[in-house]
Amino acid sequence: MRCVSTRGHDTASLTEALQRGLARDGGLYVPAQWPRFAAAAFAGADSLAAVATRLLQPFFADHVLADQVGAISAAAFNFPLPVIELRAPRTYLLELFHGPTGAFKDVGARFLAEVLSRLRSPSAPPVTVLAATSGDTGSAVAAAFHRRPGFQVAILFPDGRVSARQAHLLSCFGDNVQSFAVQGSFDDCQAMVKAAFADADLQARCPLTSANSISLGRLLPQAAYYAQVALAHWQRHQRALNFVIPTGNLGNGLAALYARSMGLPVGEVVLATNANRVLPEFLASGNYQPRASIATLANAMDVGAPSNLERLRALFASTAELTQAVTAVSVTDAAIAARIRRFFADEGRAICPHTAVAAEVLAGLREGGDQRDWCLVASADPVKFESIVEPLIGQSLAVPPSLEHWLQRPALATPIAATAAALRQQLLARQGSAIIAE
Ligand SMILES: *Cc1c(COP(=O)(O)O)cnc(C)c1O
């Protein structure tokens, strides 16, 4: 399938789009056409991997990997994504965090790693997967590419702005993974990555590939879990399922909208943001004003300029149509904390601060009299944020063995200034040593 840039001046094959990350005109790649599905297209597809295979097959039509979509999906979606019926009526919780690093980012990262591994020619020089992370992307990408032949991984995270367990998970892989603790914000990390991709000389000496939330290879597989959950709900209740999605860079939220625009029975999509209010303000006023992010309890959503915003706009003919079709609501830190406590009291379940943002938004809808079927999206395991969650619920949380495995390893991150030059120097130094080591 051809991809086009959101800015209209570049096209690419799917492979090029996956390998380049950013389009050459500075925009983001999106599929030139969206396939449309009737529910019958998924008859008999009852596992997530099976739904993903049918949903994603059209994007790989004519592609060298066309006959491997099923194998890629089976390898990537190898952990459960359970939907839990909550005590509150007509309310569900979609737990996306049972992958290797305890956040939904594992889904996209694992799919992307499978695709890029299969696309790589064994004689090609090693490529560096470069990712900025606000907390969870980096560890998901690191886990997905850890010890994969032909890949180096460089992770940039904002020092002091991630939880202790997140920091550990970002720094514990070793081998082909290097972690940089950036003396700055997540927005600084993103700017450094953008500068590296724009640096032709650096790219000539150290081939880079993107694994950020702008990667189509992460976005498309995320549409698959919305497809599967919405289809299952439709089959059982003959009603569309509505979703409240904790949102930062808009990768997860966009995936739900993509599933809906492909004809899946996804109802309303409400984007739940923390005190970084750029999206709710934009959708309320039609006026987009990016700004520096502020630190909140839901740190993986501390985003002042959502990187997928161009894709959200490109999905609709006009801003007016977009503001009709999607809503966003912002939640304060005080409300996040109160909701974690309340949710635990009402449902007997701990939720992470990001999931609590969504739960708070849904509570507001319910108070307004909304009785429809809603699914809360749980984006991370609460144990990753134990220093926030445990005092609120007055209990300690058990660490699942899959996470314990990584937390037992020593952590080692390299501190780095928040400049493009500092990153460039590190990547080149490392590239030299990688080639000698091989
Ligand atoms: C990344 C992340 C989010 C935000 O997802 P986006 O796709 O950037 O909108 C929410 N919660 C958690 C736990 C995350 O790691």
pLDDT per residue as tens digits for the range 84-102: 999 999 999 999 999 999 9
Asked if residue 212 has its Cβ within 6 Å of ligand 1, the reply is no
The answer as to whether 261 is a domain residue is yes
As a whole number of angstroms, the distance between CA 386 and CA 115 comes to 34
368 burial (CB, 10 Å; 0-12 / 13-18 / 19+) is exposed
How many residues does this entry show for the chain?
438
Per DSSP, what are the bridge partners of residue 270? 244, 327
**pLDDT of the residue at 438:** 34
The answer as to whether 51 is a domain residue is no
DSSP-assigned letter for residue 421: H
Query: Which domain does 301 fall in, by range?
Result: 76-104+217-399
pTM > 0.85: yes or no: yes
Confidence of residue 432 (pLDDT cuts 50, 70, 90): low
Rounded to 5 degrees, φ, ψ at 45 are -90, 95
105 assigned to active site: yes
Question: What are all long-range contacts of 85-90, with beta carbons under 8 Å and residues at least 24 apart?
Answer: 86/347, 86/376, 87/346, 87/347, 87/348, 88/346, 88/347, 88/366, 89/371, 90/371, 90/372, 90/373, 90/374
Report helix angle 69-76 to 216-237, nearest 10. Answer: 80
The answer as to whether 264 is a domain residue is yes
**Number of domains, the chain:** 1
Token pair, residue 4, equals: 């086009």
The answer as to whether 268 is a domain residue is yes
The answer as to whether 252 is a domain residue is yes
Which are the contacts of 330, defined by CB distance < 8 A and separation ≥ 6?
A: 273, 274, 275, 276, 277, 279, 280
Asked if residue 248 has its Cβ within 6 Å of ligand 1, the reply is yes
* Token pair 């997140």: residue: 166
**pLDDT of the residue at 434:** 46
Token pair, residue 436, equals: 């000698």
DSSP letter string over 206-260?
A: S-EEE-STT-HHHHHHHHHHHHHHHHHHHHHHSSPEEEEEE-SSSHHHHHHHHHH
The answer as to whether 65 is a domain residue is no
The answer as to whether 155 is a domain residue is no
Q: Which residue among the candidates 20, 54, 105, 194 is catalytic per the annotation?
A: 105
Instruction: Residue 361: give its domain's CATH number.
Output: 3.40.50.1100
Taking the centre of ligand 1 as the mean of its atom positions, its distance from the CA of residue 245, in whole angstroms, is 9
As a whole number of angstroms, the distance between CA 291 and CA 313 comes to 18
As a whole number of angstroms, the distance between CA 41 and CA 62 comes to 20
pLDDT per residue as tens digits for the range 316-357: 999 999 999 999 999 999 999 999 999 999 999 999 999 999
**pLDDT of the residue at 359:** 98
Asked if residue 107 has its Cβ within 6 Å of ligand 1, the reply is no
Rounded to 5 degrees, φ, ψ at 295 are -80, 135
Which are the contacts of 161, defined by CB distance < 8 A and separation ≥ 6?
A: 134, 135, 185, 186, 295, 299, 302
For residue 249, the ligand 1 atom closest to its alpha carbon is 8
The average confidence (pLDDT) of the chain is 94
The answer as to whether 250 is a domain residue is yes
